[in-house]
Amino acid sequence: MKQKSCRKDVERAFGVLQSRFTIVAGPARLWSKTMLNDIMTTCIIMHNMIIEDERDLDAPVEEQTEFLTPEVEMTGDDDARFQAFLARHRKIKNREAHIELRNALIEHLWSAYSQSEN
């Protein structure tokens, strides 16, 4: 029962993040695990900052004139990774390959379970 309530809490929190930040609602296949961790952590921090800011409406607004230049790391293999992803996606969506894999799976399961005593 505790697992069910914890799961509901997590799903509710994730739904709030999805409704507020589009990047969380989109597909995550192209992101690495560390990048996903950074994205989720950032979204949670920004969500908490927004909630805190909405609660404290009488707080004075502080203007900051000096901004730090963000450091962006560019990688040259993103295009290659994306092309590899597209190739895998096309391979998955290939109807002939799908039928061939399905028939091989059926044959494997048939041979594995037809020889068992059950």
pLDDT tens track for 13-32: 888 888 888 888 877 777 78
Q: Is the pLDDT of residue 118 over 60?
A: no
- Nearby residues of 20 by Cβ (< 8 Å), 6 or more positions away: 43, 47, 50
pTM score of the predicted model? 0.43
Give CA–CA dist 98/21, Å, rounded. Answer: 35
81, HSE (Cβ side, Cα atoms, 13 Å): 8
More confident residue, 111 or 65: 111
Q: Where are the domains of the chain?
A: 1-55, 78-118
Q: Which helix (H) or strand (E) holds 34?
A: helix 33-55
